[in-house]
Structure 1
Amino acid sequence: MRPWILTLLLAGLAMVGPFATDTYLPSFAGLAQHFAVSPLMVQQTLSVYLFAYALMTLFYGTLSDSFGRRPVILFSLLLFCAASAGAAMAQTFGQLLLFRGLQGLSAGAGMVVGQAIVRDSLQGPAAQRMLAHVMMVFGVAPAIAPVIGGWLQVLSGWRASFAFVLAIGLLLLLACARLLPESLPPAARHPFHAGAILQRFGTALRNRAFVLRSVAIGTLFGSFALYVASAASFVMGVLKLPATAFGWLFVPMIGGFVIGSALSARLAHSHSAAAMIRGGFGLMACAVLANLAYTWHFEASVPWAVLPIFAYTFGLALVLPPMTVQTLELYPHMRGLAASLQNFVQMMIFALVSAFVAPLLFHSACLLAAGMGTGMVVSWICWRLAAPARTPAVLAPYHE
C-alpha cells in the first residue's frame, strides 16, 4: 500500500474520536432545552463518553496484539456506527448517556491501533514522520467538526450532529474493509491470556520512565483538551458568540496543531527529538504567558483571545510525535499494549478535566489560561523526572 493511502486511513480512524467529541458541542444548549436538564448534566454526556473511551483504550491495543490490527478496527467501527445511530434516535436523556458511553467504548480503537500499525511498519524518525503526518491530517477533524455541528444545530437540531457522525463511521468502515492492510502477521501475534495480559500491564506500570512519560503526554494533551471541554461556555458565554461561530476557537486551535505537525514531520530527520521537545515547550510557555497577560488585563474577545491558543497548539504539535515515539519505544515488542496504556492515561486525564476541572474554569478566560499553563508545567516536570531512555524490564513472553 502507498504510504499516503495508509496515512489517510490512519488519520481517518483517528478522526473518529474528535468528530464524536466536537460535532455536538454547539448543541449543548439545545440538548439542555430538549431534555429539560441543566448545562452541568449535558456536560456529563461528554464526560461519560471520555471515561468509556479511556477505559477501552486499555484493551484495544492488547486485543490487536492477539487477534490482529484489522479485525479489531473493523469491529470497533461497527459498534461505533450502531452507537451513533442510537444516539441520533435517543428518546430520553438516559438513552443518550448510554449511547454516548457506547460511542466512547468504540471510538478509541483507531487512535490506539493506528499507532501500533505505524510502529509495526516503520522505525525511529520514519515512524515519527508518519505519526506527524497522521496528526496533521487528523487535525482537520476537531477544526471543522464544531463548525459543521453549529450549522447542523441551527438547520436541523441536535439529532443531525449524531447522524453526521454516523455517516463518517459508515464511510470509514467501508474504506477500511476494502483498503486497510493487516500489519501484524499471525506468527507475530500473542495468544490471548487474561492473566498474562494483566501481569504485563502491571510490569509496564511499574516502569518509572513509562509511567512518567505517559503522564507527561496526558497532562500536556489535557491542557489543550481543557478548551475543548469548555468550548460551549467559552465561545457562547465568555466570547459571547453564536452557535455557528465555534470556528473562532477551533480553527486557530487546530490550525496551530496542523501547521506544527507539518513542521514536526519535516524536522524529524534533521533535528533530535530532545531539541524538538525543548523548542516546543519553550513556545508553549511563551503562549501561556501571553494568554495570561491578555486575559488578566482585557476582556476576552476575538481574535486576541485565540491567538495564544494557536501558538500553544503549534508547540504542542511539535512535541507530541517525539514524546509518543520515545514512550512507545520502551516496549518495542508490545507496541499495542504500550499504546493502550499511554492512550488510557491521556484520555483518562481528558475525562477528569471535562468532568471536574472545566466546570470550575470555563466561565473565565483567565482561569482557562491558568489551567492550560498548569497542565504544561506538570507535563514538563514529569518528562524531566522520567529516567533517561533505557531498556526497561523485559516483559515476559506469552505462553500457550
Structure 2
Amino acid sequence: MNATEPQSAWQGPRWALAILLAILGMLGPFSIDTYIPAFDAIAQATAASPTQMQQTLSAYLFGFAFMNLFHGALSDSLGRRPVVLGGLVVFTLASIGCALAPNVEQLIVCRALQGFSTGAGIVVSRAVVRDIFRPAEAQRVMSQITIFFGVAPAVAPMIGGALSHAWGWHAVFWFLAAIGAALWLINFRLLPESLPLAQRQPFRAGDLLRGYAQLAGNGRFTLLTLASGVPFNGMFLYILAAPAFLGRILGLEPTQFFWFFFFSIGGIMGGSWLSGQKAGRVPPRRQIRDGFVIMTAISLINLAASALLPPSAWWAFVPIAIFSFGWALMTPAVTLLALDVVPSRRGMASSLQAAASSAVNGLVAGVVAPLVMHSAMTLALASFSFLLVGLAAWQLLRWRWPETGRVS
C-alpha cells in the first residue's frame, strides 16, 4: 500500500477504522493506570512492600518499552494483523495471570508480560494509518487516535477505582482480560491487512540491526521523536502524581478527583479535534508551532501561579487542561512526520517512537514523579522542563531541516 492507493485495504467509513485503531492504541496507556487505585488493597493481600508495588508499575513500563522495539519490525515482516492478534492473546493471558496472582512476585512477572504485549496495538495502529491514508487524511485519523491515547490514562484510574471498590482488586485484571478477549474477536473479524507481501521486509538479524541503525542514526527522526514524546510527560506527570497532587496538595476528596480528569480529557479532546480540522488546510509545521506556543505560554503561567498563589483546584486544573490541548494539537502531525522519514520502515519507526516514549514514561513514573509530587511548584518546574526538551528538539529540527512540515 502506498500514498497513491488510499483506503484500498479498508472499504468501510474512515471513522469506523479510526475507532478500531484508536481502541487498539489506547490499550497500552489504559492498562498502565487501571490498577493504581487498588495499590493498597493489592499490597495488603500480597504482603507487598511499597517498593514491590512500584516494581509492578515499572515492570509494565519497561516491558512495554523493550518489546516496542520489535512489534513494528515484526509487523514489517509478518504483516500487521498477525502481530496485533498475537499481542492481544498474550495480553489476555497475562491479565488472567495477574487476576490469579497469589503473591506480588507473580504479579510483577504478569505485569511485565502485559507490557510486552500491549505495545503491539499502539505501534501497529500507527503504521496501519499511514499504510492506508494519504498524509492529510492520515492526520485526521491520527488525531482521533490521539483522543483515545490521551484520554486512556485519565479515565483508567476512575474505572479501576470503581471496579476495585465494588468487587475487589482482582476485578480490575479480570476486566482487562475481558477487554483483551473482546478486542481479539473484533480485530480478527475487522482489522484489514494493510501491508502487501511485496512490501514486507525480511526478518533477519542483520536486516533488523541495519534498519534500527538507519533510524537511530537519522537526526530528523530522533528530533521528531523527542519533540512528540517528551512533552507528553508534562501532562502525564500530573496523572502519575494524582493521589498526592489532588489529595494532599489541593485537599480534594477522592469523590472530587473527577474534575481533574474532566479538565485533562477536555483539553486532549479539544486539541485533537482541532488537529483533525486543520489537517490538509494548515501545514504541519504551523500546527506544531501553535501547539508549542500554547504549551510554553501556559507552562510559564503555571509556574507564576504556583509561586504566587496558594494551591487550589480553582486555578490548578486550567493550566493542565490548556497544556493538554497544545500537546494534542501538535502531536498527530509530529508523529506522521516521523513515520515518513523512512517510508519502507514505518512499522520499525513506530516501534522506536513508542519505545523511546515508554522508556521516558518509565523513568518519570519510577524516578521523577516520586521526587516532585509533594509540591505544586516542583511539579510545575518538572512539567516545564519536559516541555523545554521537546521545544529544543523542534527548534533544532527547524534549523537543520527547514523544509520539514512545510507541506501537508
Give your verdict on TM over 0.5. Answer: yes
2:18–2:141 CA contact under 8 A, matched in 1: yes
2:131–2:194 CA contact under 8 A, matched in 1: yes
1:26–1:153 CA contact under 8 A, matched in 2: yes
- C-alpha distance 245-92 of structure 1, shift in aligned 2 (>3 A): farther
Matched, 1:195 2:195: no
Matches within 5 A, 1:136-151: 136-151=147-162
Corresponding residue of 2:109: 98
Corresponding residue of 1:86: 97
- C-alpha distance 245-169 of structure 1, shift in aligned 2 (>3 A): farther
Matches within 5 A, 1:160-309: 160-309=171-320
Give the CA deviation at 1:106.
0.5
CA–CA separation in structure 2 for the residues paired with 1:9 and 1:303: 37
2:25–2:148 CA contact under 8 A, matched in 1: no
Corresponding residue of 1:397: none
Q: Residues 238-293 of structure 1: CA distance to partner in whole angstroms, max 9, x if unpaired?
A: 33444454423322112211111001000112111111111111111122122222
Work out which of the residue numbers 324, 330, 341 in structure 1 matches 2:352: 341
Matches within 5 A, 1:318-333: 318-333=329-344
CA–CA separation in structure 2 for the residues paired with 1:235 and 1:35: 27
Unaligned runs of 5+ in 1: 392-400
Equivalent AA in structure 1 for residue 323 of structure 2: Y
Give the percent of matched residue pairs that are identical in Structure 1 and Structure 2: 44
Give the CA deviation at 1:94.
0.7
Corresponding residue of 1:388: 401
Matched, 1:353 2:364: yes
Residue 313 of structure 2: SS of its match in structure 1? coil
Corresponding residue of 2:80: 69
CA–CA separation in structure 2 for the residues paired with 1:368 and 1:385: 26
Query: Which is further off, 226-235 or 282-291?
Result: 226-235
Matched, 1:57 2:57: no
CA–CA separation in structure 1 for the residues paired with 2:252 and 2:18: 35
Residue 315 of structure 2: SS of its match in structure 1? coil
Residue 305 of structure 1: SS of its match in structure 2? helix
Provide the TM-score with structure 2 as the length reference. Answer: 0.91
CA–CA separation in structure 1 for the residues paired with 2:153 and 2:382: 20
Matched, 1:14 2:25: yes
Equivalent AA in structure 2 for residue 193 of structure 1: R
Equivalent AA in structure 1 for residue 122 of structure 2: M
Provide the TM-score with structure 1 as the length reference. Answer: 0.93
Corresponding residue of 1:394: none
Equivalent AA in structure 2 for residue 58 of structure 1: L
Work out which of the residue numbers 140, 150, 160 in structure 2 matches 1:129: 140
Equivalent AA in structure 2 for residue 388 of structure 1: W
- C-alpha distance 159-298 of structure 1, shift in aligned 2 (>3 A): farther
Unaligned runs of 5+ in 2: 1-11
- C-alpha distance 24-242 of structure 1, shift in aligned 2 (>3 A): farther
CA–CA separation in structure 2 for the residues paired with 1:237 and 1:275: 40
- C-alpha distance 26-70 of structure 1, shift in aligned 2 (>3 A): same
Equivalent AA in structure 1 for residue 364 of structure 2: V
Give the CA deviation at 1:220.
1.2
Corresponding residue of 1:373: 384
1:150–1:243 CA contact under 8 A, matched in 2: no
Q: Residues 213-253 of structure 1: CA distance to partner in whole angstroms, max 9, x if unpaired?
A: 21222211222222232233323333344445442332211
Give the CA deviation at 1:15.
1.5
Equivalent AA in structure 1 for residue 281 of structure 2: S
Residue 191 of structure 1: SS of its match in structure 2? coil
Q: Residues 54-76 of structure 1: CA distance to partner in whole angstroms, max 9, x if unpaired?
A: 11111001100100000100000
Matched, 1:33 2:20: no
Residue 104 of structure 1: SS of its match in structure 2? helix
1:147–1:244 CA contact under 8 A, matched in 2: no
Number of matched pairs: 391
